[in-house]
Amino acid sequence: MKRCITLLVLIAVPFLTLHAQNESGASTDEAVGELKGQLDGLNESFLETKTTVDALKKIKVSGYIQTQFQAADTIGNSRFPVGNFSGGNFPTNVKHRFAVRRGRIKFTYDNTLTQYVLQLDATQNGVGIKDAYITVTEPWLKSVSMTGGIFDRPFGFEISYSSSMRESPERSRMFQTLFPGERELGAKLEINPQTENFAKHFNFKIGAFNGTGPTANENDRNKDIIGRFGYTFPFQEQNLAIDGGFSWYYGNVTSNSRAVYSIDKATKTFMTDSLVSDSLNSFQRQYLGMDMQIYYDIPVEWLGGLSLRGEFISGKQPGTAKSGSFYNPGTIQTVSGTSVKSSTEVTPLYQRAFRGFYITYIQNFGLKNQLVVKYDEMDPNTKVKGKDIGASTTSISGRQLTATDLKYSTIGLGWIYHWDSNVKFTAYYELISNEKVNSNTNIASLIPYKTDVKDNVFTFRAQYKF
């Protein structure tokens, strides 16, 4: 009897359901259509969400901040600069200071064969652009790429070695003099063979740049050519790797003055030809450099790996009477007859031959500690010695050698402690020595340099990187 009742219920339910649908005016086809529409809507929404998520996955955000305390041997003063290559001059009457040295935030949109990069730097001095460029890689061998915008000049090793990774707080005096700001506005071709043969150990970079600095507009008819041929040789069985390269810089500086000075070999002073034809003429800015990095993993557990790095650069550097640094003449004036017409001040050009190098030794102790020893030397005017500076008593303006022509050497000693994967602390002391001028000089601006001026700097830095 129970079985019969159950069977009757099962037969009756579909008929009752169909009757109810007919009573409400709905049909089975309409219900199915409505359900299909809902499913299509969900699918479309899912595809839109997936597209958004895929795009967001290509965006990478990274950055670091460096906050530091510095102490100098003496207060900042007008007699000689203190800390100018240690993060900037100490202001007058300042001997200790806190600062945010770098506050970087970097946005990268990586679409495999194309990249967009924008990096900003925020410190107590304001916000500025560090990088703004695009890179396109060919899709066949994936070995050749083109980059355009503001980016690191392709010269040597220390320029492109990130400040977040570098063991010394600042780059060497040589690089700060020749490549202030590290970046430049231009375009670059890069070749990195993605092969399994011997070619994979070599790379090549070459670019054309304005030659005016990272944020200045072009102001003459010249372009500067910068390049590097690099190599990397791993010796895995010996726990050893050797990298290096040869770099060159071929550019020109346009003189906005008739007065162009160069060193006279006989008198060891600057001489000028002061020709009208020199105004708007180009004078060579040329560097040749070589670099090498040696990495060795010492087979002692508590000692860890070591690295030895060095670079050497020599060449010609046009500058001014008071600066041998990278020179941007600004607005170029026009010459009419014997007069120069422009609202911008005319600046005589001083031609110097320079030479500089650095050597850095890093020794790891376990996974958290590093010892750093660095020596760098920069001679901005190799055609004169310290005894020549201040020896001349000539009263002709512009001919005298100045403190700009002094050679400097710096010994850096530091200790780095890696707190975790994000935070590291650095304690670093710089012993800075200057070449001594002629002991008989009576030129007021040179008198402090009769001895080694007190300009050593201690830096304690905390860095957070993500």
DSSP line for 297-320: E-S-TTT-EEEEEEEEEEEEEEEB
- Which DSSP category does 237 fall into? G
Q: On the CB side of 122, how many CA atoms lie within 13 Å of its CA?
A: 5
- Which DSSP category does 15 fall into? H
Q: Which two tokens stand for residue 439?
A: 């002991």
406 Cβ neighbours under 8 A, 6+ residues apart: 380, 386, 389, 434, 435, 437, 449
| Furthest C-alpha separation in the chain | 133
Q: How far apart are alpha carbons 52 and 458 in whole angstroms?
A: 49
Q: On the CB side of 58, how many CA atoms lie within 13 Å of its CA?
A: 14
Which residue, among 297, 253, 298, 304, has the nearest Cα to 279 in the 3D structure? 253
Which residue, among 97, 32, 109, has the nearest Cα to 67 in the 3D structure? 97
Q: How far apart are alpha carbons 428 and 167 in whole angstroms?
A: 9
Is 186 within 8 Å of 209 (Cβ atoms)? Answer: yes
- What is the residue extent of each domain of the chain? 59-465
Q: Which two tokens stand for residue 371?
A: 């010892």
Which residue, among 119, 125, 111, 126, has the nearest Cα to 152 in the 3D structure? 119
- Which DSSP category does 439 fall into? T
* pLDDT attached to residue 329: 78
* pLDDT attached to residue 234: 94
Q: What backbone phi and psi angles, to 5 degrees, belong to 41? A: -65, -40
Q: How far apart are alpha carbons 54 and 120 in whole angstroms?
A: 25
Q: Which two tokens stand for residue 296?
A: 């060795």
Cα dihedral across residues 87, 92, 97, 99: positive or negative: negative
Show pLDDT as tens, one digit a residue, over the chain (466 residues).
Answer: 455 455 444 454 444 444 545 545 556 667 667 767 766 776 777 777 777 788 888 999 999 999 999 999 999 999 999 999 999 999 999 999 999 999 999 999 999 999 999 999 999 999 999 999 999 999 999 999 999 999 999 999 999 999 999 999 999 999 999 999 999 999 999 999 998 899 999 999 999 999 998 878 888 889 999 999 999 999 989 999 999 999 999 999 988 888 889 998 888 889 887 665 667 788 999 999 999 999 999 988 788 899 999 999 999 999 998 899 998 877 554 444 444 444 355 788 999 999 999 999 999 999 999 999 999 999 999 999 999 999 876 666 668 899 999 999 999 999 999 999 999 999 999 999 999 999 999 999 999 999 999 999 999 999 999 9
Q: Which two tokens stand for residue 109?
A: 């949109």
Cα dihedral across residues 150, 154, 158, 162: positive or negative: positive
Q: Give the CATH number of domain 59-465; options: 3.40.50.970, 3.30.420.610, 2.40.160.10, 2.60.120.1310.
A: 2.40.160.10
* pLDDT attached to residue 56: 85
Classified as helix, coil or strand, 116 is strand
Q: Which two tokens stand for residue 142?
A: 């994936």
Classified as helix, coil or strand, 282 is strand
Q: How far apart are alpha carbons 412 and 418 in whole angstroms?
A: 19
What does pTM read for this prediction? Answer: 0.86
